[in-house]
Amino acid sequence: MALFEVLIDIAHLPGVADPAGATVERALPALGYTNVSDVKIAKSIRLTIDAPTAEAAETQVREMCERILANPVIEDYSLRISETTSP
Amino acid sequence: MALFEVLIDIAHLPGVADPAGATVERALPALGYTNVSDVKIAKSIRLTIDAPTAEAAETQVREMCERILANPVIEDYSLRISETTSP
């Protein structure tokens, strides 16, 4: 078994409203930032998982995303997995 | 001027409580995931910025992070900047 660090990026699916991002985008011009657009606010989750291989870690994390971490109806997720050097 | 896509990852500083992450970590064993630890939930922001150079874009985004996007007292942020191919 080895320890893997996983970074999960959970973003809204295209077409799903992002009120937090829209609010920030509307606030920026008042602060002088008029050259910013397409502000999207999403969630990222970091975790450490003990698994035999990187593939096993990825399979389990995808299952966790579908069941609890993300809402597949409105969210999409991407993973980055790296083996930790110090177990 | 060119368009740059910026991904800002905003995480809690070490030592700052992360109640959402702790709640997920406590919930996972009940779902059968007993091999997961160090769950941290953070925020990520994507935006598009119109700037003369990547350095100018980075300078402005760092200033925006300090002023509005992040709370430097309890949060740290990292940036990834890429020039968009289609302006």
Model pLDDT for residues A39-78, shown as the tens digit of each residue: 999 999 999 999 999 999 999 999 999 999 999 999 999 9
pLDDT tens digits along B10-42: 999 999 999 999 999 999 999 999 999 999 999
Residue A1 has a pLDDT of 84
Q: Report the residue from B38, B47, B60 with minimal CB separation from A38.
A: B47
Residue ranges of the domains in chain B? 2-83
CATH code of B2-83, in short, is 3.30.1280.10
Residue A2, chain B, CB below 8 Å: the answer is no
- Residues A48, B36: C-beta atoms closer than 8 Å: yes
Residue percentage of chain A with pLDDT more than 70: 97
Buried b / exposed e across B50-70, counting CB within 10 Å, b at 16+?
ebeeeebbbebbeebbeeebb
**Which architecture does CATH list for A2-16+42-83?**
2-Layer Sandwich (3.30)
Q: Report the residue from A24, A50, A68 with minimal CB separation from B35.
A: A50
Q: Which of B33, B67, B79 to mutate to test the interface with A (most CBs of A within 10 A)?
A: B33
Alpha carbons A34 and A50: distance in angstroms, whole number: 46
Residue percentage of chain B with pLDDT more than 90: 93
Residue B40, chain A, CB below 8 Å: the answer is yes
Q: What is the DSSP string of B6-56?
A: EEEEEEEPTTS--HHHHHHHHHGGGGT--SEEEEEEEEEEEEEEEESSHHH
B18 → chain A, closest CA residue: A45
- Residue A86's pLDDT band, with cuts at 50, 70 and 90, is low
- Residue B86's pLDDT band, with cuts at 50, 70 and 90, is low
- Residues A46, B64: C-beta atoms closer than 8 Å: no
Place of tokens 């925020």: B43
